């Protein structure tokens, strides 16, 4: 199994209802519910806008939005729900 510190996000696909489908470097796929894990929608109201939410991308430290939050692979992995 991949060491935790070398876990990376290989691919991200935005889904409906502020969820992300993620493929990790260890081969696992998970769905992460952004709205459930952000402190409140008022903290990042732009993430509630579907057009903005769909601009998510993979970067060297996880996933990010333009001028917005970054989420680490470990956080996404720990709180994501595994899919087959």
Structural domain boundaries enclosing 10: 4-83
Beta bridge partners of 22: 12, 30
How many structural domains comprise the chain?
1
Cβ proximity of 12 and 22 under 8 Å? yes
Measured CA to CA, the distance from residue 73 to residue 60 in angstroms comes to 10
| Closest-CA residue to 17 (of 54, 44, 42, 43) | 54
pLDDT in the model for residue 39 = 52
pLDDT in the model for residue 68 = 78
Overall pTM surpassing 0.85 (yes/no): yes
Residue 35's CATH number: 3.30.2020.10
Measured CA to CA, the distance from residue 44 to residue 23 in angstroms comes to 24
38-82 pLDDT, tens digit each: 755 565 788 888 999 999 999 988 999 998 789 999 999 999 999
């Amino acid at each position: 199994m991949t060491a935790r510190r070398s876990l990376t996000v290989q691919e991200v696909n935005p889904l409906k209802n502020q969820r992300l489908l993620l493929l990790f470097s260890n081969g696992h796929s998970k769905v992460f519910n952004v709205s459930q894990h952000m402190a409140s929608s008022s903290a990042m109201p732009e993430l509630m806008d579907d057009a903005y939410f769909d601009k998510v991308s993979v970067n060297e430290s996880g996933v990010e939005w333009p001028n917005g939050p970054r989420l680490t692979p470990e956080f996404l992995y720990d709180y994501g729900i595994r899919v087959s």
